[in-house]
Amino acid sequence: MKIYVAPLAGVTDYTFRGILEEYKPDLMFTEMVSINALERENEKTLNQILRIRDGEAVQIFGKDIDKMVHSAKYITEKLGVKHIDVNAGCPVNKIIKNGYGAALLEDPDHIKRILCEIRENIDDSVDLSLKTRVGYKGLKQHKLVGKIAEESGCKHITIHGRTREQMYSGKADWDLIKEVKENTAIEVIGNGDIFTAEDAYEKVKHSGVDGIMLARGICGNPWLIQEIREKFEFGEVKLEITPQDRLNTALKHTLQAKLDNPHKQFLFELRKHLCWYLKGMRHGAALKNAINQIDNYDELIELLEKAKENI
């Protein structure tokens, strides 16, 4: 059973993927890359979002077929990336209004053309995949998109068990994910609401998927990957995460963010990660409050070191 780390815009950046790497997920995806930004040679896209390690997958979003193909070729040929994922699931208004993300579901044939053209124009050794939702505008297109991904030469399809209209509300419907698995010959990766090893176990057993993609559940909780593996291997989770582990990881993430961004302000983006690591810890609220007030790297390190001493 494969464990993938989802593309999470503003979260699964180079530094966080470095933290997650230690827990050996089977595949990690970059945050979604705009094909228009890539065409404009946008600095953040080129230098931050497309900063990748060997073996990581890149997700692209857009609509124009030529630009999608051009981006896929650039990313695979110039950057040596071995896996391209196409986003047909983003529900955010500013993406939808341009016809990108989940809005692609309005015209499944167009998704097929995008995938087939990319497949035809990238090297055979590069994997292609589709990440999507179960439906758009009241239609349930989950089985159809499964077939489309299969017929377009995708290695796998990732299916989030919510419609676009649900955004992140309600529950991901793993009955629909099961239906995709039963009707698709390629690997099906299930996504939605996996926050614990129990969640993963139940959902995989129920749906029969080939793998899972972790998203919000992994924020501040890289240990979830190991816990899921233990649950499948031993039937229970053996790992116990201590406050010390949480603070050590928060410190490691902070130090690494500084090394990865020597010339850039990164504290603002770092805060959310630190608060996630410290969630549920005794005196965590006061510590999180202090983290959100600090705008100096040395003071932040001092605060975290002191918190470790006081455990």
Q: Give the residue numbers marked as catalytic.
A: 90
Dist CA 15 CA 19 (whole Å): 7
Contact 132, 121 (CB under 8 A): no
C-alpha distance from residue 170 to each of 131, 163, 173, 194 (Å): 20, 10, 9, 14
The answer to whether 49 touches 34, Cβ cutoff 8 Å, is: no
Q: Residues 74, 76, 80, CA angle at the centre, nearest 5°?
A: 115
Q: Which of these segments, 86-94, 181-189, 220-228, 229-237, binds ligand FMN (CB under 6 A)?
A: 86-94
Restricted to residues 156-185, the positions that interact with ligand FMN (CB under 6 A) are 160, 172
Residue 62, interface with ligand FMN (CB under 6 A)?
Answer: no
Residue 9 touches ligand FMN, criterion: CB under 6 A: yes
Nearer to ligand FMN, 190 or 307 (CB): 190
Note whether 193 binds ligand FMN by CB under 6 A: yes
Smallest separation (angstroms) from ligand FMN to the CB of 18: 18
Query: In this structure, what are the phi and psi dihedrals at residue 211, rounded to the nearest 5 degrees?
Result: -170, 175
CB of residue 13 vs ligand FMN: minimum separation in angstroms? 11
> Residue 243 and residue 287: Cα distance in Å, rounded?
12
User: Which one, 192 or 220, has the nearer CB to ligand FMN?
Assistant: 192
Considering only 3, 5, 6, 154, the residue that binds ligand FMN (CB under 6 A) is 6
Tokens of 301: 């390190």
Q: Which is nearer to ligand FMN, 174 or 257 (CB)?
A: 174
Binding footprint of ligand FMN on the chain (CB under 6 A): 6-11, 31-32, 59, 87, 89-90, 131, 160, 172, 191-194, 215-217
